[in-house]
Amino acid sequence: MSHYFVNDESLPHREIDAGFTLFGREWPFLGDNGVFSKHGLDKGTRLLLETAAPLPLGKSILDVGCGAGAIGLLLAALDPSRRVTLSDVNPRALALAKRNAERIGVSSQATFVESDAFSAISDHFDTILTNPPIRAGKKTCQAIYQGALAHLLPGGRLLVVIRKEQGAPSALRHLEGLFGKAERIAREKGYWVIEATRTKEQQ
């Protein structure tokens, strides 16, 4: 079965207006077939952004499985000193994210990387965020969590949003075991935002 964490070239392009309002501003995003949440900002990503925005995220941010780019691009727009990297396995998603970066004026802050989880990522980051591709399976999601631990700077944080019914409690337990420190920091309408922190002692 096809899902968003793949490159399905058989789907015809159909760019549509996927604009939304957040942080008191209109964001003129585009959507496309084969790219997650093509009609606008989904509830999980909205909660993740609302939760992340007040936090001290640092200056280097990675958005894993970026889709149309809402997470990384909005966090760039909120702080012009940030540098964001957006990665996705789907070239269509990356092309759309690039267009959305231009539309909201943050292209100079953003780098785009075609990568299956962390396969093409070499840098380290203050913060990594993801709305993980649950339909791609638990192994794919856990590979993202493992990769995040290896690509965070000491003291850096991973922020994940997952629906409770799609495995948020088990993801929290997994992240606790992996990072040593993880907690639910927000909950709304069935979605959890989980924060896991890389300790300075972890290699």
pTM of the model: 0.91
Cα separations (Å) of 147 from 44, 91, 129, 179?
22, 20, 12, 11
The helix (run of H) or strand (run of E) holding residue 92 is: helix 91-104
> In this predicted structure, what is the pLDDT of residue 2?
36
For 96, residues 6+ apart whose C-beta sits below 8 A from its C-beta are 15, 30, 31, 32, 35, 67, 68, 69
> In this predicted structure, what is the pLDDT of residue 11?
62
Give residue-wise pLDDT tens across range 69-101.
999 999 999 999 999 999 999 999 999 999 999
Segment 139-153 shows an average pLDDT of 95
Give residue-wise pLDDT tens across range 7-22.
556 566 667 888 999 9
